[in-house]
Amino acid sequence: MAVTLVQGKSRKVLRVALVGEEKSGKTTIISNACANGGIIIDSEEGSGGIRNINTPCYLVDTFGDVIEAYKKAVASKPTIIAIDSISPVWKDWQDHWAAKYEADQKTKGKIPIHAWNTIKRPWRQLIQLIKTSHVPTIVTARINYDMDMSGSEWQIDKNNWSAQAEKNFLYEMDVIVKTFIEDGKYYGTIIGARTNKDNKVLSALVGKTFENLNYAEHILPFAQDGESGTVEEHYATNTEIDIDNQKLETNLQNEAENKAKQQLIGKIVRGEAKCAKIGLYGWQDDSQKESTRKTLLGDNELMAASLEDLTKYLEYLINSVNAEKESTNANA
């Protein structure tokens, strides 16, 4: 755990969520925003508006690609980075995990709660990169409307909506903009922003709808210092490592791992006893059991093995018992 000391005046580096229906002007907005020194990360090439021909663009397929592209973009020191759109790659990542549990009788096709920590890890990694990059960033997303029962039919409720992204996405951005088309015209509404209520210029923008909303006029003011328009980025001038906090964090991680190990070991010991009871592996003899542990785990002491190896060993025991049962039933 590191404690960063920051000196001098500071302000937020602008992070924008741009949410809307397909072909509602999102790509045009980011194209204009990135026209002078910006970089676009594109997961939907050809599906939106026309990109500026001189704007560098990373084409991506997966969520991991987005993270890698963002790191490369930051290294180029652009004026702004736009990710267009986060929705398809995030959906593909969730679908990848949903497929793992589709045939699982225990979960009935639903992703179990304990798996979400792993699934959300790359999302947290991307948001952390965005927060620490010191580069203004726009992330576009498709809109997801709620459905409402009207009479005997379900209808779209356009008053209630969310972004097709991780559920905390909108809370992690500084400015939220909703884009839409009405009577053939493009509009953008500034839904909300983290801003000083005493700043009349910024407060007047929140909640307003603009025809042909653009980045420079309607969004960029939220990155500026008061009404003067001056911008000062906050950079760490010194970093100190808090040794005590680092030790505490390590201890907490070790405690969590040991607790998980103990739970696994309890199941393994019961599994070994089951194998011995039905006559598998000659495990009535403890020395034979210890020899098998050493072969499969690298040590005859269970606590010395890794969580991953213990998990695989438990699966091995379960599969062995099940195979023996099937063999016995087949011969009966």
- Span 51-85, pLDDT tens digits: 667 788 999 988 999 999 999 999 999 999 999 88
pLDDT confidence of residue 1:
45
* 153: confidence class by pLDDT, cuts 50, 70, 90: low
Query: What's the whole-number mean pLDDT along residues 82-89?
Result: 91
The ranges of the chain annotated as CATH 3.40.50.300 are 2-239
CA 307 to chain centroid: 24
* 262: confidence class by pLDDT, cuts 50, 70, 90: confident
Residues of the chain above pLDDT 70, percent: 77
pLDDT confidence of residue 229:
40
Query: What's the whole-number mean pLDDT along residues 138-163?
Result: 76
Burial of 68 (0-12, 13-18, 19+ CB in 10 A): middle
Classify domain 2-239 at the CATH topology level. Answer: Rossmann fold (3.40.50)
What is the overall mean pLDDT for the chain?
A: 79
Q: Determine which of 3-7, 164-168, 216-220, 289-293 has the lowest per-residue pLDDT on average.
A: 3-7
Query: What's the whole-number mean pLDDT along residues 3-21?
Result: 69
Number of Cβ atoms within 10 Å of the Cβ of 30: 30
Q: Determine which of 11-20, 133-142, 189-198, 248-257 has the lowest per-residue pLDDT on average.
A: 248-257
How far apart, in whole angstroms, are the C-alpha atoms of residue 216 and residue 30? 10
Q: 81-84 and 175-182 as β-strands: parallel, antiparallel, unpaired? A: unpaired
- Span 109-132, pLDDT tens digits: 677 777 777 888 889 999 989 988
pLDDT confidence of residue 19:
92
pLDDT of 34 > 60? The answer is yes
